[in-house]
Amino acid sequence: MEFIGYIIDVIKSIWFSLIPIYVINEFEHGIVLRLGKWYKDVECGLGWKIPFCDEVLRCRNTVTTMSIKNQSLTTLDGEQVCVEAIVKYKINNPKKYLLEVEDTTDAINDITQGKIKEIVTNKTWNEVRLMQDEEIKNAVSGEVIKWGIKVYYITITSLAKARVYKLINDNT
């Protein structure tokens, strides 16, 4: 059964390579690669392509949110804290987004966690409690703009002191 699915995928790929038109939906951005190199950005609607020479890549242009998982950090004054956040973003440059980063979800998550760590570990607990979301948003925005991503906001959804217990003592 798996072999039949593979054959169907090959036939679909060949068929769509032969068709000289493409459709970009209203909720998508697109770019055309001609012989593997960027050729042009395309808007939503119907477009023409050269069979076997042009490849159309798509990405969504709708606003997206993602959760940034819980992170345990130590503040400047030695307090252990746990931080969670939400990022709201949108793709505003499909060429950069599709060609300059492999996995944007991981990239946004990693950059956001790194910036939160950088900010929280350089503040005291009282400064962290009074910290503005805008500070993190500006730090992350400066990094991800090079990938064609616009960050609308980053909200800290959970900030709490944490108790840390060492369960295993490894004295090797």
pLDDT at position 167 is 65
CA 112 – CA 140 distance, rounded (Å): 6
pTM value? Answer: 0.78
Distance set, CA 109 to CA 33, 145, 148 (Å): 28, 14, 15
The domain ranges of the chain are 2-60, 64-161
**Interval 41-52 mean pLDDT:** 92
Rg (CA), the chain: 22
Task: Could you list the beta-strand ranges (E) of 62-114.
Answer: 64-74, 80-91
**Interval 76-84 mean pLDDT:** 92
> What is the sign, positive or negative, of the torsion defined by CA atoms of 14, 17, 23, 29?
positive
State the CATH class of domain 64-161.
alpha beta
* Bridge partner list, 21: 48
pLDDT at position 87 is 96
pLDDT at position 121 is 94
Locus of tokens 């593997």: 36
Is the pLDDT confidence value at 65 over 90?
A: yes
Is the pLDDT confidence value at 170 over 80?
A: no
Is the pLDDT confidence value at 135 over 60?
A: yes
Rounded to 10 deg, the angle between the 104-120 and 133-144 helix axes is 140
Residue 54 CA neighbour count, 13 Å, CB half: 18
- On average, the pLDDT of the chain sits at 90
More confident residue, 26 or 13: 26
Is the pLDDT confidence value at 166 over 90?
A: no
At 91-133, the pLDDT tens digits run: 999 999 999 988 888 999 999 999 999 999 999 999 998 888 9
Nearest to 99 by CA among 144, 141, 147, 142: 147
- The secondary structure of 108-137 as a DSSP string is HHHHHHHHHHHHHTTS-HHHHHT--HHHHH
Return the C-alpha torsion angle 45, 46, 50, 52, nearest 10. 80
CA 81 – CA 163 distance, rounded (Å): 8
